[in-house]
Amino acid sequence: MAAETVLFSEVCSTNFLGFEFGGRSYSDQLADAVRKTKKHCAVEVFRRSVKGVEVVYVQHDFGFLGGSLGCAEGEKVARAFEYGTAQGLPVVVACRTGGARMQEGTLSLMQMAKVSVAVEAHRRAGLPFVSVLEDPTYGGVSASYAMQADVKIAVSRARVGFAGPGVILNTMFDMNQARYDNDCPAEFQSAEFCLANGAVDVVVEQGDPLE
């Protein structure tokens, strides 16, 4: 890949709701994430060249609160698609995320619709969108833009789904492991299972999926 340009780095996550839980504030969680990753948001956006093709590249960082989708992340992803549409560029989104960020309440869920509108505008402009589903790709991201791409590339053995197995076992099977095992096929959230059932287009080995 050639030299890249960072886009929208001014967009940062904040504790605008004053959320705290268990005696710990979301502000403290954000501060820890910033110290750990040296970033101020779980999503980064770049303009870069992939095999000679200029693209807008979006990357979730799982190290920043599980790569979760908050308002800042939704803003950056939406801006990425708007920028791609204005510049006539394809968009590539590399997803590695637990889903929407609970610390930002329903506003985090609204990012799903917000980004989806930008994705649709990009699609109507006749521009391609590729998603790369890394391990894991869950929640509000898998329920929206991760699966709206023209081409969906999954990394081998990546977990792809809405809720994780533990949540499904608890909420749908009342922690009855035998019922869960009977009703849910083995590895039913794996990239390979998704490929076999038409949910993704191709599975690649770990590395640079675009290479």
The count of other CB atoms within 10 Å of the CB of residue 53 is 12
- Residue 115: which residues within 8 A CB-CB, separation 6 or more? 74, 77, 78, 81, 144, 145
Summarised one tens digit per residue, pLDDT across range 144-168 is 999 999 999 999 999 999 998 899 9
Spans of the chain below 70 pLDDT = 1-2, 208-211
Write the burial class of residue 159 (CB in 10 Å: 0-12 exposed, 13-18 middle, 19+ buried).
buried
Determine the Cα–Cα distance for residues 68 and 72; give it in Å rounded to an integer: 10
Determine the Cα–Cα distance for residues 48 and 92; give it in Å rounded to an integer: 10
pLDDT of residue 1: 42
Tokens of 138: 């869950």
Determine the Cα–Cα distance for residues 42 and 179; give it in Å rounded to an integer: 36
Let me know: does 57 contact 84? Beta carbons within 8 Å: no
- CA dihedral defined by 40, 42, 45, 48, rounded to 10 degrees? 110
Neighbouring C-alpha atoms within 13 Å toward the C-beta of 183: 10
Give residue for tokens 């969680």.
Answer: 29
- For residue 70, which of 113, 99, 93 has the smallest C-alpha distance? 99
Q: Is the dihedral of CA 191, 196, 200, 204 positive or negative?
A: positive
pLDDT of residue 211: 63
Tokens of 20: 């705290």
Q: Which residues pair with 50 in a beta bridge?
A: 53
